Structure 1
Amino acid sequence: MIVTTRYGQVMGSVDDGVAVWKGVPYAAPPVGELRLRAPREPAPWPGVRDATAFGHIAPQTEQGPLPIDPGLTIGEDCLTLNVWSPEGAANLPVMVWIHGGAYFLGSSAQRMYDGRKLVTEGQVVLVTVNYRLGALGFLDFSKFGDFDSNLGLRDQVAALEWVRDNIAEFGGDPSQVTLFGESAGGGSVTTLMVSPAAEGLFHRVIAESSPATSVYGAARAESIAERFLELAGVDASKLRGLPVSEFVRVCGELVQEIPAKVPGTLALAPVVDRDFVPHYPVAAFQKGLAHPVPLLIGTNHDESSMFKLMKSPLMPITPDKVHEMFQAIAADHPDMRADEEIEVEAAYPEHSKKRTALEISRDAAFRMPTLWIAEAHSRRARTFLYRFDQATPFLRITRLGAMHGTEVPYVFGNFGVVPKDPTFKLGGHRTALEVSTRVQRRWIDFAYGRDPWTPYGEESRTTLLIDKHDQEVEDPDRELRRAWGEEILGFT
């Protein structure tokens, strides 16, 4: 199927009633003089461009925890997107997916993000986006030369501008765009909600497991960029000639080193540059500065267990590391109460110290930022809060539970795409399909502008608990809110 975009024609494929276009450029290749610069429009191309295969995925380690499917290639020329649309579609709501991966891993080509089931079930147009990752996308070298900040986020905005200008040709309605993402993708979308550059480019937002407080100030960002230059053994003038493999190698060192030194922090994250991101996102929500669009937001019941399973340094999951995290937060917030850590720990009275550490880490990184955002945004626009509790028998018996990211296959309806996935080793597939059907219906209802469940408000604080049987519960996080308080606890 051939479609005409502003930059040229693209030929996709049609299979079982779904039209798919892959690897469509939304920006010029960020190479040469455009490396570490804001994205530019792609050059028009002659003739018909083949769009039946995914484009390059952003530079990243090939030995990471997210397997790279056979046939995919890694390359700096990675600013492409993919479109799934029901054959013959016209004026359908559009859902734009921002993948996760801690800002240094992942791609839109992961099999879990195949859009056929979501598009068929929901009668929506789905767009999945590649954006720059790692040091090329989320380190801020702007203090060291002619470089731009927040490059990965700027890429996402460029993709949204492409959607605005082109998606009608693919059967989508550019006035009904839902931006959604998970983990780093969730953090991206909550950050874009407070970015002036993104205003008007989306009309609804779904944030799954957003690490919304993992957005740091310019001074911290500058110090990490400086550390990159030390580890790479170059000065900033050599960055445009540095091999991509060096960016990936040094990024891998930083990903390990930074959270080891300051537990609870990331090496790579959006930056409050006072321009593209003018304010810390959670604080901006509390001040009523976020774009007033409807928001569906939530977390998983056992976010941190995945990081324990993978022995990942990205979250502090031992009592000692959690204590170090609180000490570091206190150093960033001199006015913080001296007994804050003790009061927070008191909210987890029934667990061992190890289990308490996991839950404190989960709530510091994901649940509390989500609650702070939901509380604030509900005063400004319709807000819907959830907690994903669903776990298969295998995940429950191994005490992994509803780990970080386990809701994603329920959203897309794609199970069993990860090699050697033991998730259904002890059964539970039928229940998972039933839960997936409900999750998809709620997400799609939201994309159509319908209430997926009772909105969150400061009086009832209605929260949807997603499990084998969904429940709407009033204020299930009451004790957490009392323990952590309204003051944002995060790093600056």
Structure 2
Amino acid sequence: MSGAERWSRRAVLATGVALVAMPQIALAGSAKVKAQLGIRYARAARFQAPEPVPFGQPDFLTPSALGPSCPQHSPRYQPQSEDCLFLNVWTPDPQPARAKPVMVYIHGGAYSSGSVADPLNDGAKLAERGDVVVVTVNHRLNVFGYLYLPDRFPSSGNAGQLDLILALKWVQANVAKFGGDPGNVTVFGQSGGGAKIATLMAMPEAKGLFHKAITMSGQQVTASGPLNARKRAQAFLDKLGGDPASASTEAMVAALSATDPVMGGGLYMGPVLDMKHLHRHPFWPDPAPQGNTIPMLLGNTVAETRAFFPPDHPKLQGLDWSNLAQRAGPELKVDIDPAWVVAQFRSRYPADTAEQIFHRMVTAGRSWRGQVEEADARARARVKKTWVYQLDFEAAKHTDDIGLSFGTFEDPTLARQAMSDTMMDAFVRFARTGNPGWASYSVPDRETMVFDNVSRVVKDPRKWERELFARVPYIQPGS
């Protein structure tokens, strides 16, 4: 398909996908979406595996309050509580003639922050436009969900993942009451949410709980090794200066300011290769076989790092060619000569400013590389049901795909509404049928849907940048 061809009925047919055979996507209409918020799905003592809570008979026609978010450094999401195992459901019709696909959203914020209380995660517009049941989930984060204390608490290093597994079990048992099909569940998540999904695809306890997966700027090629996880736990305990089992919530959050003994900077928390709940790395040395039966849609934004390094960031103040390598090098997270990288990028993109090269380098080296590793691993394993997208619209940065995929984007314009409609329709088509509507990913072609004002399939986009960083081994930050 030519680069100028619009992603239309004709364009999709050109990829070899018979769109006419796919169910039609329901557009937003007059139907009122019903919401049930703050449903408890489990309880958990600190550092312990969660215990399920039987579902009662709530009046899901009347919205209630969102449940609390997990304690974290950011005061953005309130209230916060260690008792945070709640989910929310939106449905266009609780008693449909035919059960609807279910889309379960897992929020980002790495493994340390975030919440589905964010207004961007409101599921009403997606549920209405797609005629699907939308579920969003809160779970334990940072030390409450991932502090590795195996000698005292055997499940502590993966408690947050176990929360998500129980939430998915709740969906299996109860979503039919909301008009959803427990046999057609798609998990989707951005950033840390995508990484959590990649990890679930390697966890035996999650087998069979979901049937399709969408990861948005979030990958987990390797999990944290147990030795590094112990080092991080010790650094946290040293900062805490007390018993983590009895310390106050406030003291636990304050001790998150400990320095990471492995990478420096803030303390990393994430899933641990504990050989109890996680027996292998999700995508190393190959994709976990358990996940190879699951259709997967992977995506990234074209300028991820614009979210991490806004124009007023200290690294960008006074940035020029004389200091670019020094400032960008540590952000690449791989062992490569940053001065050589700068020279290569300057030669390739001679019209770019130092700031533009900074974002190109760091996005390609750090933020995009994991997605390439995962998609290529599935292709090498001959997993046919893999699709990839790249969001180019308005030079998209990290998190820009959240509002577009939910229809909750900020500062609405006609162009953003059109882009949102396109992304929502692709996600829903994937959730409904297991195929988003374009050619699946293969090596060496690396077919990728580029979402933009004119959306199109491109073979191996940013090939030169991919090949440059493929010269060095990929090491998942935090592992």
Question: Which residues in structure 2 correspond to 1:240-251 (within 5 Å)?
Answer: 240-251=245-256
State the shift of 1:296 in Å.
0.6
Is 2:251 the partner of 1:227? no
Following the alignment from structure 1 to structure 2, what is the Cα–Cα distance between the partners of residues 466 and 259? 39
2:383 is aligned to 380
Does the 8 A contact of 2:67 with 2:86 survive in 1?
Answer: yes
**Contact (CA 8 Å) 2:220, 2:476: kept in 1 or not?**
no
Aligned to 2:140: 132
Partner of 1:95: 103
Relative to the length of structure 1, the TM-score reads 0.80
Once the two structures are TM-superposed, the CA of residue 308 in structure 1 deviates from its matched residue by 0.9
Q: What residue number does 1:403 align with?
A: 397
Match of 1:488 in 2: 474
CA contact (8 A) 1:187 1:210 kept: yes
One-letter amino acid matched to 2:376: E
TM-score (norm 2): 0.82
Deviation, 1:279, is: 2.1
Which secondary structure does the structure 2 equivalent of 1:290 belong to? helix
SS of corresponding position for 2:79: coil
Question: How far apart are the structure 2 equivalents of 1:310 and 1:97?
Answer: 30
How far did residue 86 of structure 1 move?
A: 1.0
- C-alpha change, 1:62 and 1:134, in structure 2 (3 Å) is same
Alpha-carbon distance in 2 for matches of 1:270, 1:320: 31
Q: Which has the higher contact order (CA 8 A, sep 6+)?
A: 2
Deviation for aligned residue 1:476: 1.2
Correspondence 1:61 to 2:73: yes
State the match for 2:52 in structure 1.
41
- Counterpart Cα distance in 2 of 1:231 and 1:180: 35
Residue 242 and residue 377 in structure 1: after superposition, are their counterparts in 2 closer, same or farther (change >3 A)? same
Secondary structure of 1:239's aligned partner = coil
CA gap 1:360/1:47 in 2 versus in 1, 3 angstroms = closer
| Distance across 1 between alignment mates of 2:109 and 2:311 | 14
Conserved 8 A contact 1:461-1:475: yes
State whether residues 271 and 277 of structure 1, in contact with CA within 8 Å, keep that contact through their aligned partners in structure 2: yes
SS at match of 2:156: coil
Task: Return the offset for 1:154.
Answer: 1.1
**Matched-pair contact (CA < 8 Å) for 2:149–2:157:** yes
Tell me the number of residue pairs that the alignment of Structure 1 and Structure 2 aligns: 432
Separation in 2 of the partners of 1:167 and 1:141? 34
Task: Find the residue that maps to 2:244 and give its secondary structure.
Answer: helix
> Is the Cα contact below 8 Å between 1:463 and 1:476 reproduced in 2?
yes
- Counterpart of 2:307 in structure 1 is 306
- Out of 397, 401, 425, the residue aligned to residue 441 of structure 1 is 425
Alpha-carbon deviation of 1:409? 0.7
| Amino acid aligned to 1:475 | D
Unaligned runs of 5+ in 2: 1-29
Structure 1 residue aligned with 2:345, among 338, 344, 348? 348
d(CA) in 1 for partners of 2:397, 2:196: 20
> Offset at 1:353?
5.4
Counterpart amino acid of residue 73 in structure 1: P
Alpha-carbon distance, 1:61 to partner: 2.9
Identity %: 29
Matched residue type, 1:413 = G
Q: In angstroms, what is the RMSD of aligned CA positions? A: 3.0
Cα–Cα, structure 1 residues 93 and 312, in superposed 2: closer, same or farther, change >3 Å?
farther
Aligned 1:314-393 pairs, distance under 5 A: 319-320=325-326, 322-324=328-330, 329-330=334-335, 348-349=345-346, 350=349, 351=352, 354-378=355-379, 379-391=382-394
Shift of 1:306: 1.0
Q: Is the 8 A contact 2:334 2:474 kept in 1?
A: no
CA deviation after TM superposition for structure 1 residue 346, in Å: 5.9
Q: Which amino acid aligns with 1:59?
A: P
Cross-structure match for 1:269: 270
Determine the structure 2 residue equivalent to 1:457.
442
